[in-house]
């Protein structure tokens, strides 16, 4: 997040560069890149790098210091990786907790220790008896609120240690099943023994696990061979940009045109416009009283704007009291 102090530091350094020369023998200070107020990038993550690798590249390309991502993708997976910059990092959870859509490819006949093609084969079986009808009969058991055991090769922490670190050390431990939600699970292709799936799910879900478990449900084995995340909340693969495209835009000095405003993550919520007195109260973290009927919504969260059309806060809404309470404030007093 860019603070007033950051802005002042930048101005002072710039003025010094114009009015004085560096001391002899001193190492010239690298000029800081201007920090954007806040927003999101819809990045198409390539295979072969971690989500944190993407963060490091974006920091280097754009010069932005406060950068985060809205939901980890496995190194071999590709697709939508929402990137949060500046004040938008306060809204990472909107993506992490939001709906996601994946396109996954599974192959029956073998399972691996990672549940995907990168791992060591742990079991093999004959998949020739598996039919599309059998798969269609098994899929409803994986839709809705289900319990899912995360893979050993995952970022889930057990007693403060990432599971993948234990797995790399040759350890395998019991994992507690976690409740996840699968909204839709559809077959997109069936070319035995390869199965294509479209998965719409909530947070904490592992596509690798559902494929591994589907193999067991069919008295067989299976592992994932490809995974593409085609949507996270409102961000889609069709609208995403590659790191190469971002690099070209940074070289042209025009990369900020790719940045979505902060409220892009909140457009599913109703909005209200506050007057200057109410805006000042929100800046101090104080609740705002509304007249009855000002908001016709049962949503518990509201986007609050000032009269200039600027998003100033995410507010909690209490319909019975006609009151707004600040949750995340984007203006400072």
CA angle, residues 76, 82, 83, in degrees to nearest 5: 105
Q: What is the DSSP letter of 26?
A: P
Pairing of strands 271-273, 301-305: parallel
Q: What is the DSSP letter of 251?
A: H
CB atoms within 10 A of CB 30: 7
Instruction: Specify the 3-state DSSP secondary structure of 76.
Output: coil
How far does CA 75 lie from the centroid of its chain?
15
The beta-strand segments (E) located in the chain are: 38-45, 67-69, 78-86, 100-108, 110-112, 121-124, 144-148, 157-158, 161-162, 178-191, 194-201, 222-232, 235-236, 271-273, 288-289, 301-305, 311-318, 323-329
Greatest C-alpha distance within the chain: 80
Q: What is the DSSP letter of 31?
A: P
Nearest to 225 by CA among 239, 211, 237, 213: 211
- Annotated catalytic residues are 74
Q: How far apart are CA 44 and CA 225, in angstroms?
A: 19
């Amino acid at each position: 997040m860019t603070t007033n102090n950051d802005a002042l530091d930048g101005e002072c350094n710039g003025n010094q560069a114009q009015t004085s020369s560096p001391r002899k023998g001193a190492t010239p200070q690298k000029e800081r890149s201007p920090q954007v107020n806040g927003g999101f990038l819809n990045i198409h993550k390539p295979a072969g790098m971690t989500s944190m690798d993407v963060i490091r590249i974006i920091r280097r390309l754009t010069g932005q210091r406060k950068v985060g991502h809205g939901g980890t993708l496995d190194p071999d997976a590709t697709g939508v990786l929402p990137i949060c910059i500046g004040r938008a990092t306060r809204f990472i959870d909107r993506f992490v907790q939001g709906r996601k859509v994946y396109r996954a490819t599974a192959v029956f006949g073998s399972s691996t220790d990672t549940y995907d093609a990168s791992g060591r084969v742990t079991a093999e079986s004959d998949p020739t008896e598996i039919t599309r009808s059998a798969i269609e009969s098994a899929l409803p058991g994986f839709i809705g609120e289900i319990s899912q055991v995360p893979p050993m090769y995952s970022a889930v922490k057990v007693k403060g240690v990432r599971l993948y670190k234990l797995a790399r050390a040759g350890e395998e431990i019991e994992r507690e099943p976690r409740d996840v939600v699968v909204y839709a699970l559809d077959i997109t292709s069936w070319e035995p023994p390869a199965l294509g799936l479209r998965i719409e799910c909530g947070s904490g879900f592992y596509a690798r696990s559902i494929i591994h478990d589907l193999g067991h449900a069919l008295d067989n084995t299976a592992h994932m061979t490809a995974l593409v995340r085609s949507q996270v909340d409102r961000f889609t693969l069709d609208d995403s940009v590659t790191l190469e495209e971002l690099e070209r835009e940074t070289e042209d000095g025009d990369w900020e045109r790719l940045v979505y405003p902060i409220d892009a993550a909140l457009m599913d919520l109703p909005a209200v416009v506050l007057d200057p007195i109410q805006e000042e109260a929100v800046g101090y973290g104080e609740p705002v009283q509304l007249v009855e009927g000002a908001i016709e919504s049962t949503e518990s969260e509201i986007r609050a704007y000032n009269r200039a059309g600027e998003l100033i806060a995410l507010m909690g809404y209490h319909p019975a009291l006609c009151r707004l309470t600040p949750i995340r404030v984007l203006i400072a007093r």
